[in-house]
Amino acid sequence: MKKKINPMTYRKKFRCASCNDYSLFITDRFYNGMYIECSNGCEVLESKFLGIIEENDYCGFYKTEEIKANFHYFDVIEESAEVLFKYKLIGSPYEGFSKKQQRYFQNIQNHTFNYNNKLDDLAIVYMGENNLNEIEDMPSPFGYIFSLIEEIEYIRVQIIKNLVMYKFVEKHNNHPLTIRFLMANNFEYIIQIDEKMIVLLGILSNYPFESDLKKNKSHSILKHVKQNATKISNLYQAFSSYHSDGFLNTQRKKRNANSHAESDLMIWLNNNKEKMMEFNYNDLAIDIEMYHNDISKILKLESKIFEFEKELMTYMTSAIEQSISLTKTPMQAEQESDFALFPSEPANSYNPKEIEASKNELFFKLNLLTEISSENQQVVGDVFFRIDEVSRLIIASYKFEEYFLNRYPDDKLDDLINEEELLYSAVNRLCSCFDKLAQYVNSKYNTGNDIKYFEDFRSYKQKITKIDNQIQNILNDSNYLYLTKIRNYATHTMRWGKIYTASETNYFYNPLFNCLTECLNLLVELLTIIVDNQLLKYTKQK
């Protein structure tokens, strides 16, 4: 993975070796390459930037107004048509979108650029108020909130990048990803933003979070927020506009089905058999039919996030100026504690042929089961195809350069998609596979238990069967425990490691990759046991 640099580095007043003043401004944000300028007009080579950053000889930070007054950076950026993307795709990133949609994109990129500058200024004000020269290694309560704010903005931008990628894969016949994959991620992300907003409002309104994080239900937090919204009334109103949006809530229902029951695709195929025949099972045609109307609705939702972000900046600036007291939440304490426990180790040597062999054997058994059984096997089939998608995501992250950069050398796709996005996408899909199988096992074997999630099997009265044994093995496996934590943090607060502003995403790639490969193997083993059990049952009946 590309090394990531703490964004506040790009606001430091670095020393210029030529004039010896602290007059250097260095950044690569919203710029194709590395921008270096001395306010005294000294010539500085772009190739020197890494040495300057590593030397770290600086004095204070530039606020936005200082950059505008002393450097040409903003003039250069304003001349660029696509400030959201460092690397321009062939043609315009917005090619293929309607004129109205293109206007939305223009508003989005203007807001994103300005909002990023306001976030930087907010961090500088906080550091000044607290006499800090560097971002804290162990974040304060404010640092945690700031990281959560940045996480919301990061996901919002990724939604836009996925829409741009939508048009790219449409041109390339659903490669290297599919429209369905990108839109499923976007629906997940708009709900994650809602969840993160709720946690943020809970913190700002002093909700008494439980140390057992599972007890902090969204509806309870919102009830408290509504009763204590006087100081954050404008922020709460902006949130309510987003939270109550009809499209958001429709997608929430679809996402819940995708995660725990029959998938969005399966439902569409069952309800559109004639159209499916008309499309001749063409994946691209089906995907466009399913999702093309959702693009404008997503863009409208983005504008509601803007309003929330604007009110959030107003509130946070006032909070810093008034030195409003903030306390560490149980979420921050747990995430800090778990951060230290996350294993740092080399990536597993991953052999795609092994998992492909297991999948092929499983696919053969599933086909056989479908032929001899009149019962509905759709959930099991859906899980199998999710397994196939997860394995492809893992391979794509493992061979990222080959899959995305070498195959499309002129398009520089690494600003639209990266290894982290692929792995977190695999996390969501793998967790949904476990939950779907949990409900299948519960209904198929009539356990008499209230099972909605795979985790519910922890209180399940165990029977001595291969299925039960494998379920318990999975529940107690350290990789599965990591998988569920990773997903819960990403959904409700922030991705693992984002709490540490100065930490590198690279640190998490290997353990996350290892966790996914191990959990995928565990899931394949469980599904194989379930299918074998069904085959044995029907063979005996014959």
3-class secondary structure, 313: helix
- What would the mean pLDDT of 87-112 be, rounded to a whole number? 76
Nearest C-alpha neighbor of 141 from the set 499, 396, 495, 456: 499
- What would the mean pLDDT of 54-64 be, rounded to a whole number? 93
Nearest C-alpha neighbor of 524 from the set 415, 405, 383: 383
- Give the pLDDT score at 137: 59
Q: Which residue has the tokens 């270096």?
A: 36
216-220, 290-294, 415-419: the lowest-pLDDT one: 415-419
3-class secondary structure, 502: coil
- What would the mean pLDDT of 381-410 be, rounded to a whole number? 87
| Spatial separation of the C-alpha atoms in residues 504 and 509, rounded to whole Å | 10
Q: Report which of residues 13 and 334 the model is more confident about.
A: 13
**Residue 26, CA distances (Å) to 8, 20, 55, 193, 373 in order:** 11, 16, 13, 31, 65
| Spatial separation of the C-alpha atoms in residues 78 and 101, rounded to whole Å | 20
pLDDT category of residue 393 using cuts at 50, 70 and 90: very high
| Spatial separation of the C-alpha atoms in residues 309 and 232, rounded to whole Å | 13
CA pseudo-torsion sign 125, 129, 130, 131: positive
Is the pLDDT score of 241 beyond 50? Answer: yes
- Give the pLDDT score at 110: 84
Residues in CB range of 473: below 8 A, 6 or more apart: 522
Cα 442–Cα 449–Cα 432 angle in degrees, nearest 5: 45
Here the tokens at position 379 are: 């959930």
139-153, 168-182, 449-463: the lowest-pLDDT one: 449-463
DSSP 238-250: HHHHHHT-HHHHH
3-class secondary structure, 484: helix
- Give the pLDDT score at 126: 87
Here the tokens at position 191 are: 């709900």
Is the pLDDT score of 448 beyond 90? Answer: no
Here the tokens at position 442 are: 């519960």
- The half-sphere exposure of 357 on its side-chain side, counting CA atoms within 13 A, is 4
- The half-sphere exposure of 29 on its side-chain side, counting CA atoms within 13 A, is 20
Per-residue pLDDT tens over the stretch 290-348: 898 999 999 999 999 999 999 999 999 888 888 778 888 998 888 877 765 655 565 56
| Spatial separation of the C-alpha atoms in residues 345 and 505, rounded to whole Å | 14
Query: % helix / strand / coil in the chain, to the nearest 5?
Result: 65, 5, 30
- Give the pLDDT score at 503: 43
pLDDT category of residue 279 using cuts at 50, 70 and 90: low
Is the pLDDT score of 219 beyond 50? Answer: yes
Here the tokens at position 266 are: 């399966």
Counting Cβ atoms within 10 Å, is residue 472 exposed (0-12), middle (13-18) or buried (19+)? Answer: middle
pLDDT category of residue 421 using cuts at 50, 70 and 90: very high
DSSP letter for 406, please.
Answer: I
Counting Cβ atoms within 10 Å, is residue 497 exposed (0-12), middle (13-18) or buried (19+)? Answer: buried
CA 450 from centre of chain: 30
Is the pLDDT score of 505 beyond 50? Answer: no
- What would the mean pLDDT of 137-155 be, rounded to a whole number? 86
- Give backbone dihedrals phi and psi of 130, rounded to 5 degrees, phi first: -110, 15
DSSP letter for 405, please.
Answer: I
Counting Cβ atoms within 10 Å, is residue 315 exposed (0-12), middle (13-18) or buried (19+)? Answer: middle
Q: Which residue has the tokens 């089961």?
A: 369
- Give the pLDDT score at 86: 45
| DSSP-assigned beta bridge partners for residue 12 | 61
- Give the pLDDT score at 506: 52
- What would the mean pLDDT of 12-18 be, rounded to a whole number? 94
What percentage of the chain has pLDDT greater than the value 90? 39
- Give the pLDDT score at 346: 58
AA identity, residue 134? E
| Spatial separation of the C-alpha atoms in residues 361 and 254, rounded to whole Å | 31
Query: CB–CB of 112/157 below 8 Å?
Result: yes
| Spatial separation of the C-alpha atoms in residues 299 and 322, rounded to whole Å | 35
Q: What is the pTM of this model?
A: 0.89
pLDDT category of residue 502 using cuts at 50, 70 and 90: very low
Q: Which residue has the tokens 């025949």?
A: 277
Cα 196–Cα 202–Cα 208 angle in degrees, nearest 5: 130
Query: In whole numbers, what is the pLDDT of the chain averaged over residues?
Result: 83
Nearest C-alpha neighbor of 301 from the set 189, 409, 190, 394: 190
- What would the mean pLDDT of 93-98 be, rounded to a whole number? 83
The number of residues making up the chain comes to 542
